[in-house]
């Protein structure tokens, strides 16, 4: 089984209650269940983690080295200002994929810039839980490319 780590940043523990017009009504646990199930279809064992604390997220990314093969990360508001999380992503050999439930480019200007995305392989934004599911497809692609087993 491939090991994939999904990290959810601040306030995402409140999904289902928080600004449901923007983020939808699924709870974080419902999203995690969907992500784990889809991961199994790709032969991935998905670990999920949520923290409201920048340093904890930094340490979780460090700990992924030698453990996870891909990181899927929704840094929440840290997306827009955490150089520490960006540096952590850049400091490990594990490739990361940045996801957002909402389309950050269609929202307030303060959300238009992601300081973390340049340290990711790529970013998926705006598809709700589908952003995480699409990230699993992208992770599968990354793994197959790395192994040389990708076929059209």
Q: Which residues are catalytic?
A: 23, 100
- Structure token digits, residue 108: 């307030």
Euclidean distance between CA atoms 46 and 38, whole angstroms: 9
Is 15 among the residues that bind ligand DQA (CB under 6 A)?
A: no
Task: Return the DSSP state at 15.
Answer: T
Task: State which of residues 32, 50, 74, 96 lies at the interface with ligand DQA (CB under 6 A).
Answer: 74
DSSP E strands, 9-121: 44-50, 70-74, 96-100
Task: State which of residues 102, 121, 134, 141 lies at the interface with ligand DQA (CB under 6 A).
Answer: 102
Euclidean distance between CA atoms 97 and 17, whole angstroms: 26
Nearer to ligand DQA, 76 or 95 (CB): 76
Binding segment toward ligand DQA, per CB under 6 A, in 24-32, 47-55, 65-73, 94-102:
94-102
Is 77 among the residues that bind ligand DQA (CB under 6 A)?
A: yes
Task: State which of residues 76, 82, 92, 97 lies at the interface with ligand DQA (CB under 6 A).
Answer: 76
Nearer to ligand DQA, 11 or 27 (CB): 11
Q: Which residues bind ligand DQA (CB under 6 A)?
A: 11, 74, 76-77, 79, 100-102, 104, 111
């Amino acid at each position: 089984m491939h090991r994939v780590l999904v990290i959810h940043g601040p306030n995402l523990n409140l999904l289902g209650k928080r600004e449901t017009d923007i983020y939808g009504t699924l709870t974080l646990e419902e999203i995690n269940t969907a992500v784990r199930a889809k991961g199994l279809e790709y032969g991935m064992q998905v670990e999920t983690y949520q923290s409201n604390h920048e340093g904890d997220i930094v340490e979780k990314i460090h700990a992924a080295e030698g453990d996870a093969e891909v990181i899927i990360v929704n840094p929440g508001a840290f997306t827009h200002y955490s150089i520490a999380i960006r540096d952590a992503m850049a400091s490990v050999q594990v490739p990361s994929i940045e996801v957002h439930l909402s389309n950050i480019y269609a929202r307030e200007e303060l959300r238009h810039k992601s300081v973390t995305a340049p340290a990711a392989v790529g970013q998926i934004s705006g598809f709700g839980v589908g952003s995480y599911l699409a990230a699993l497809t992208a992770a599968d692609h990354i793994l197959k490319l790395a192994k040389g087993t990708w076929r059209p």
